[in-house]
C-alpha cells in the first residue's frame, strides 16, 4: 500500500444523497433558465396581442409552478424507487393541479394548450434527469474489508427485484491510489481495525474521499436495514416528528372514511358472497400485536372453510395446510388483497394505520420476539394495512423470510415520511392490480 504523503489533496466530495440533490437541482435549473429565456423573448415579440398575452401569462405561471414541482421531486429522489416514473408524474400533476384549481377559483383566463404543454415538458424533463443522473449512474465504491464485501454482496442477492434508485459496483482493494479514484469507500464502523487500516482510512479522509458506513450503503442499495449492522441508537429519532404523527393520523381518518364510502357496496357484496359460498361468518377477528406491543383484534374477510373444531378464527397454520382450506372466493380475495378491506375500521378505531408494518399474530410475534433480537422495534409505530415489506417482499413463510421482512420494516420505522408513504401507496396499487406476493 502506497503511503499518503499529504502533498496532493482533493476537495471534499459530496455524499451520494447530496450529489443527487445537486445534480437534479442543476438539471432542473438549467431547463428553467432556458424556459425563462424563451418566455422573455416571446413576451417581447407577442406581448402586445390580447390572445397572446393570455398564453404568455399562463406560461409565466407555469414556469413558477415548475419550482415547487422540482422541489417535490427532490424529496422523492432520496426515497427508494417506485415502479417506473409514476412518482415524477404525480409530483408535477399535483402542482399543476393546484395551479388549475387556482384558475378555477379565481375565474382567471388561461390557455389550456400552454398549461398542458408546460406540464408535459416539465414532467419529461424531470424524468430524463432522473434517468440520466440517478438511475443511469453506477457508483464505484471501494471495499477494503472482506466482511463488508460479503455483507453487501449477499444483501443485494437477497432482493428479488431492485427497489432503490442506487446501483453500485463494489471494488475490493487496499491500494490508496485506486481507492482515491472511486466515488467512495465503504467501511464497517463497528469493527475493530488495525493500525494499517486506520492509516489508510485517515489518508482517504484527508484526501477528500467520501467514507460510507456499511449500514448506510446497505440501506442505499437494498431499501432495508441490516440486522448485522444495526445499532439500537438508530431508534433515538425513529418515532418521527409530532407534526408528522398528527398529520398522518388525520390522513388515516380521512383516507379510511373515503375508502369505506367508495368500497362500501363492494364490501357488502363480498360479505354476501362469502356467506353464500360456505358456512360461517363473513368476517373474522384475530388477535394481533399493535403499536408498543399492545394486542388488538384485527378484522378480515373470511377466506377459508371453517375447521370443524373452531368457527371463531382462522388461526395461522402451516402454509400447505392452510392452502387446502382456502375457498375459491377466498383465493381471489387474497390475491388482490380485498380480504384486508375491513381493516379500514381498525384504522378509524386507531389500532392501525393505512401504511406501516403489517401486524403479526400474537403467537407468531412471540416466537419472533424470542429468536430475533431487533424484532420488537417494528412495534414502535402503528401497524398498517400495507407496508414497505409487503410491496417489496410478498408472503413470509419461514424465519429467514421474517428476518428479511424485519429489515424492510425497520427501514420504514427509521425513514418513515410522507414521501415514503406515498411511494408505498403507489406500489400498493401495483400490488392490488397484479396480485404480487399473494399467499
**Residue 38 domain-assigned?**
yes
Which of 114, 135, 156 is the last residue in one of the domains? 135
Task: Indicate whether 234 belongs to any domain.
Answer: no
Is 191 found in the same domain as 101?
no
Distances (CA, A) of 118 to 55, 60, 106, 112, 430: 11, 10, 20, 10, 28
The pairs formed by 281-288 with CB atoms below 8 angstroms and a separation of 24 or more are 281/311, 283/342, 284/312, 284/313, 284/314, 285/312, 285/313, 286/313, 286/314, 286/315, 286/361, 287/361, 287/362, 288/359, 288/360, 288/361, 288/362, 288/365, 288/383
Grid cell for residue 16:
451520494
pLDDT value at position 314?
Answer: 47
Same domain for 268 and 375?
A: yes
280 Rama class: left (phi>0) / alpha (psi -120 to 50) / beta: left
Q: How far apart are CA 271 and CA 352, in angstroms?
A: 22
Contact 330, 342 (CB under 8 A): no
| Tens of each residue's pLDDT in the chain, 439 residues | 454 454 444 556 677 667 777 888 899 989 999 999 988 888 888 766 666 788 888 999 999 999 888 888 877 666 665 445 777 888 899 899 999 998 888 888 888 899 999 999 999 999 898 888 877 777 788 998 888 888 888 776 755 555 665 677 889 988 888 888 888 899 888 787 888 888 888 888 887 788 888 888 888 788 888 777 666 655 555 455 778 888 999 999 999 999 999 999 999 999 999 999 888 899 988 899 999 889 999 999 999 888 765 444 445 555 544 556 788 898 888 888 889 999 999 999 999 999 999 998 888 888 888 888 888 888 989 999 999 988 887 666 666 777 888 889 998 988 888 878 888 888 888 777 776 555 5
Grid cell digits, residue 317:
397454520
Provide the CA 52 distance to its chain's centre, in angstroms: 43
Contacts 24+ apart (CB under 8 A), 279-284: 279/306, 280/305, 280/306, 280/311, 281/311, 283/342, 284/312, 284/313, 284/314
**Are residues 63 and 131 both part of a single domain?**
yes
Residue 93 lies in a domain: yes
In this structure, the answer to whether residues 280 and 383 fall within a common structural domain is yes
Q: Domain residues for 170?
A: 138-223
* Interstrand relation of 283-289 and 295-301 (parallel, antiparallel or unpaired): antiparallel
**Do 179 and 145 meet the contact criterion of CB atoms below 8 Å apart?**
no
Q: Is residue 190 part of a domain?
A: yes
CATH number at residue 160: 3.40.50.10700
Residues 142 and 215 both lie in one domain: yes
Q: Is the dihedral of CA 77, 80, 81, 82 positive or negative?
A: negative
pLDDT value at residue 161: 52
Q: Residue 186 domain-assigned?
A: yes
> Do 108 and 185 fall into the same domain?
no
Sequence-separated (6 or more) residues with CB below 8 Å from residue 219: 225, 226, 411, 415
What is the structure's pLDDT at 188?
87
pLDDT at 207: 79
pTM of the model: 0.76
Amino acid at each position: 500500500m502506497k503511503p499518503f504523503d499529504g502533498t496532493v489533496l482533493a476537495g471534499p466530495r459530496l455524499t451520494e444523497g447530496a450529489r443527487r440533490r445537486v445534480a437534479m437541482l442543476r438539471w432542473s435549473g438549467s431547463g428553467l433558465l432556458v424556459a425563462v429565456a424563451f418566455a422573455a423573448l416571446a413576451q417581447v415579440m407577442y406581448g402586445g396581442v390580447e390572445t397572446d398575452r393570455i398564453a404568455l401569462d399562463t406560461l409565466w405561471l407555469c414556469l413558477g409552478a415548475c419550482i415547487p414541482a422540482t422541489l417535490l421531486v427532490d424529496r422523492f429522489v432520496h426515497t427508494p424507487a417506485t415502479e417506473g416514473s409514476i412518482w415524477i408524474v404525480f409530483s408535477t400533476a399535483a402542482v399543476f393541479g393546484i395551479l388549475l384549481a387556482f384558475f378555477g377559483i379565481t375565474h382567471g383566463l388561461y390557455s389550456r394548450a400552454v398549461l398542458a404543454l408546460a406540464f408535459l415538458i416539465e414532467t419529461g424533463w424531470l424524468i430524463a434527469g432522473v434517468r440520466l443522473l440517478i438511475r443511469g449512474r453506477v457508483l464505484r465504491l471501494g471495499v477494503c474489508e472482506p466482511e463488508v464485501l460479503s455483507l453487501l454482496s449477499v444483501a443485494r442477492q437477497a432482493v428479488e427485484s431492485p427497489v432503490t434508485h442506487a446501483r453500485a459496483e463494489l471494488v475490493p482493494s487496499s491500494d490508496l491510489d485506486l481507492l482515491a479514484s472511486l466515488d467512495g469507500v465503504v467501511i464497517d464502523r463497528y469493527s475493530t481495525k488495525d493500525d494499517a487500516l486506520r492509516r489508510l482510512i485517515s489518508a482517504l479522509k484527508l484526501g477528500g474521499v467520501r467514507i460510507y458506513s456499511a449500514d448506510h450503503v446497505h440501506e442505499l442499495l437494498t431499501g432495508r436495514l441490516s440486522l448485522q449492522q444495526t445499532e439500537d441508537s438508530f431508534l433515538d429519532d425513529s418515532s418521527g416528528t409530532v407534526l408528522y404523527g398528527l398529520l398522518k393520523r388525520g390522513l388515516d381518518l380521512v383516507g379510511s372514511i373515503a375508502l369505506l364510502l367508495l368500497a362500501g357496496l363492494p364490501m357488502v357484496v363480498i360479505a354476501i358472497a362469502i356467506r353464500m359460498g360456505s358456512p360461517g361468518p363473513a368476517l373474522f377477528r384475530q388477535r394481533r400485536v399493535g403499536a408498543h406491543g399492545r394486542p388488538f383484534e384485527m378484522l378480515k374477510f373470511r377466506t377459508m372453510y371453517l375447521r370443524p373444531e373452531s368457527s371463531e378464527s382462522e388461526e395461522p397454520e402451516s402454509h400447505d395446510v392452510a392452502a387446502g382450506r382456502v375457498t375459491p372466493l377466498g383465493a381471489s380475495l387474497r390475491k388482490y388483497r380485498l380480504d384486508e378491506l375491513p381493516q379500514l375500521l381498525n384504522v378509524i378505531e386507531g389500532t392501525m394505520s393505512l401504511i406501516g408494518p403489517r401486524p403479526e399474530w400474537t403467537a407468531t410475534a412471540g416466537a419472533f420476539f424470542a429468536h430475533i433480537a431487533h424484532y420488537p422495534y417494528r412495534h414502535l409505530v402503528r401497524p398498517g394495512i400495507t407496508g414497505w415489506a409487503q410491496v417489496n417482499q410478498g408472503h413470509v413463510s419461514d424465519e429467514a423470510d421474517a428476518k428479511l421482512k424485519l429489515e424492510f420494516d425497520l427501514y420504514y420505522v427509521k425513514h418513515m415520511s410522507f414521501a415514503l408513504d406515498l411511494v408505498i401507496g403507489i406500489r400498493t396499487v401495483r400490488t392490488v392490480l397484479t396480485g404480487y406476493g399473494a399467499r
